[in-house]
Chain A
Amino acid sequence: MNITTESMDGDITRIVLDGRLDVEGAAAIDMRMNVLAGSARHLLIDLRHVTFIGSMGLRSIVIPSQNVRRRGGKVALYGPVPMVEEVLKTSRIDEVIPTFHMLDDAVAALR
């Protein structure tokens, strides 16, 4: 599980996740995600390279996102593969955190 970040215009921090977000994958990114959630204004979570997401993986996306929103920031999920999107829909997380397949749409939602 890899995690990289980049700053984008509009005070947006883009987090690019790469790998399987199973129990081990979640444990690998949790600390970093929480630190980012504590400092970033808006979050764009790039899920295009996440091939699997389990319930702990879902948690490691949702909990930091909630923290950013609690501080008045916005969060968008971008590019989930069908398996990941299915999990987001099953748990109705797509209703709580807007999910996009086009980068421009995701960025626009954060501005």
Chain B
Amino acid sequence: MAEFIEPRPTPDVAFAAHPCVEVAFTNWPRQVVPINEVPFLIGRGSENGNHLALDDPRISRKCAVITAVPGGLQIEDRGQRSGIFVNGTQINRGKILCDGDRIRLGAEVECQLVFRSFSDLRASGEGQTRLDSLVGPRTGDSHFELNRLRMLLEATSLLHSQLPLELILATMLDHAITITHADRGMLLEPDASGVMQVRVARGRERTSLAPETVNPSRTVLRQAVEQRSVAINKDLRLADANLQAAQSVVLQYLRSAVVIPLYSVPCVDDAAHTPGHDELLGAVYLDSKREAAFSELDRQILDALGVQAASILDNARLMQHERERQRLEQELIIARKIQQALVPQGLQDFPYLEITGIHRPCYEVGGDYFDVFPAADGRTAILIADVAGKGLGAALLTTMLQGALSGMSLGADPVKVFDHLNRFLCDRATVGRHVTMFFGLIDPDGTLEFVRGGHPSPLLLRRGQVRELYTEGSFPIGLVEQAYYAASKIRLDPDDTLLLFTDGATEAADKDRNLFGYTALVDAFVQHANGSLDTLLSGILGTLERFSEGVRQTDDITLLLVRYRPSAQERNQTAMSGLKATS
């Protein structure tokens, strides 16, 4: 894993242990100054020989001095207005400093220094000492690191709850900020064009930042993504012109940043996975007002953080997909309810006809449907339709068809409606579906006028014998623009029974992929004919189910049974009109 460092002169002194003071003034960039010589003078302005020159009117020119004494380094007050305080207690004479002591200069709590007993530092070639990294002595402090890892695990465990995704990501960032002592944290995700966009941004103390205002360093982001590993930038002032130009007070004080790119954890059994091609999920971006805030000492922590954050993001996405799937499922349930609500109601209420039917889609919604409705001229319309394909796409078309065909209840000519629908669907070939349909109008006198559109002939059961209404073919609706349609007529006798079906019935398969077939359907129809229509329907369905023995069917099954059964009065009327016609 390579670390990114801005180009700079090679240091001639590498690492040396030195005590130092950390300037921790509020609203100042965090700054660390090594104590290279003693006495080490602290005060306003460097012209007074101060080693640590603090340009702040609240600091006296001769403020304090650090000297070496037998017990270590000692701080003495040189005349700071309102005195010098160590860990909240004013010093009268010298006070020996311990690691982490907080030194307050004067009455203002904002003006504080933190004493560090040693640190790693580098000196530049020009002799200017420059401290690159200081985060405090962490190595070997297992409690500290364990605590960090505990926080990471806690963040991960949030996934098992049902918290909103944004909250999980924000919590993960809060942990990352705590772990790294960063001032801000962001989670970025690539958008559709691959540009990293800030999804969540957080500040210290669990504050939420507006993603559009945080303006992360694109340079460091790009480095991390290009080298596919953690990129640390120690001084953003050298990296990003846009940060220098930024007007925001916060941005002006940002000094260092770390970017941890997050990659999906490949599945062990993922055969398609190619090493080095893990999907880039996003990046964690942390920045700080301190220079070199993210030292090399943090590398293991950063790696652990990266792994944890990636798995959090990965899991969060899986969870999101799962929720999306559930949402789609919910939508399908709604679609199914709508489709069921469109099934004709009150089939038992039609005069001179007994009617029953079933629509059994193989998926949540289906491409088959049947309908029965009164036509304008006193006849009763019956129809069965089968849209090519299955599922939601086919179901959408069935609802359109049902709407279009219901127009026939207002007296439209069915042949014209078929022609119109054929043109409509051929003109919209990208719909990618056509329909087979049988449409019939039954007169109270038993005359059945029908139009066929590539649909298998209904079966007519008359006195124990089954026959087809037609054997010649017809054009499906919406397949070829040359298609034309015509109406035919037959006369039904009382107690004649029609079985309208879709090919899902004849093509129901058993476990060996044998098809139920036309002959078996005819046999089942005849076999169960001596009863009510409901008995007949359940008899046919039972035969189908025994044949397929629980094999999941791959097509919708729709059956509609219509029995012509005029009342005595209707028969008399029919007979009378017949006499008139022949006389």
Taking a contact as CB atoms under 8 Å apart, the answer to whether B479 and A58 are in contact is yes
Tell me whether A111 is interfacial, beta carbon within 8 Å: no
Taking a contact as CB atoms under 8 Å apart, the answer to whether B482 and A91 are in contact is no
Tell me whether A8 is interfacial, beta carbon within 8 Å: no
What are the residues of chain A within 8 A of B479 when measuring CB–CB?
58-59, 62, 91, 93
Within 474-488 of B, Cβ neighbours of A (below 8 Å) are at 474-476, 479-483
Q: A55-B386, A55-B434 are in contact. Are A63 and B429 (CB under 8 A)?
A: yes
Q: How far is the CA of A23 from the CA of B553 in the complex (A)?
A: 13
Number of interface residues of A (CB under 8 A): 17
Q: A59-B434, A63-B429 are in contact. Are A91 and B475 (CB under 8 A)?
A: yes
Q: How far is the CA of A63 from the CA of B432 in the complex (A)?
A: 9
Tell me whether A39 is interfacial, beta carbon within 8 Å: no
Number of interface residues of B (CB under 8 A): 24
What are the residues of chain B within 8 A of A23 when measuring CB–CB?
389-390, 554
> What's the least CB distance linking B508 to chain A, in Å?
13
Q: Which of B389, B436, B482 has the most CB of A within 10 A?
A: B389
What are the residues of chain B within 8 A of A56 when measuring CB–CB?
388-389
What are the residues of chain A within 8 A of B483 when measuring CB–CB?
92
Taking a contact as CB atoms under 8 Å apart, the answer to whether A91 and B436 are in contact is yes
What are the residues of chain B within 8 A of A54 when measuring CB–CB?
388, 503, 507, 555
> What's the least CB distance linking B152 to chain A, in Å?
45
> What's the least CB distance linking B441 to chain A, in Å?
22
Tell me whether B282 is interfacial, beta carbon within 8 Å: no
> What's the least CB distance linking A53 to chain B, in Å?
11
Tell me whether A96 is interfacial, beta carbon within 8 Å: yes
> What's the least CB distance linking A77 to chain B, in Å?
14
Q: How far is the CA of A12 from the CA of B480 in the complex (A)?
A: 23
Per-residue contact bits, chain A 89-101, to B (CB 8 Å; 1 contact, 0 not): 1111110100000
Q: Which of B388, B390, B482 has the most CB of A within 10 A?
A: B388
What are the residues of chain B within 8 A of A90 when measuring CB–CB?
454, 456, 473-474
Cβ contacts A to B, 27 pairs, < 8 Å: A23-B389, A23-B390, A23-B554, A54-B555, A55-B388, A55-B434, A56-B389, A58-B476, A58-B479, A59-B432, A59-B479, A62-B479, A66-B480, A66-B481, A90-B454, A91-B436, A91-B473, A91-B474, A91-B475, A91-B479, A92-B454, A92-B473, A92-B474, A92-B475, A93-B480, A94-B473, A96-B482
Closest 6 CB pairs of A and B: A55-B388, A92-B473, A91-B454, A90-B473, A89-B473, A56-B388
